[in-house]
Amino acid sequence: VPIIRIAGLFEVREEDPDPTEGIVVLVGENGSSVGLVASELLGQQQTVIKPLGEGVSSTPGVSGGAIMPDGTVGLILDVSGLVRLAHTEGGE
């Protein structure tokens, strides 16, 4: 299973956890799976997904945004886009 480091994929300057010590979320689509390396899981909640502006709407692996309960904006990941990225860029 290819491993995707989300922070590296989106060029976020954050310490990237070691997949052998951190959290890996397994996601898949159409029989193809990838592991997403996460620094932490915040929980589950219902959100209203908003479309992104023109400058960000074409970002592979992102399908929209949502206002989080604390007022920050969270990006909604596009699982099928991430699976495609992992297989085209090779993953780990």
Q: Which amino acid is at 5?
A: R
Q: Exposed/middle/buried for 45, CB within 10 Å: 0-12, 13-18, 19+? A: exposed
Q: What's the pLDDT at 14?
A: 67
Query: Which residues touch 65 (CB under 8 Å, ≥6 apart)?
Result: 49, 50, 51, 52, 73, 74, 75, 76
Q: Which residue has the tokens 């023109």?
A: 54
- Mean pLDDT throughout 51-75? 83
Tens digits of residue pLDDT in 4-60: 887 777 777 666 666 677 788 898 888 878 888 887 787 888 888 898 887 766 778
Specify the pTM.
0.68
Domain boundaries, the chain: 3-89
Residue of 72, 31, 73, 33 whose CA lies nearest to 52: 73
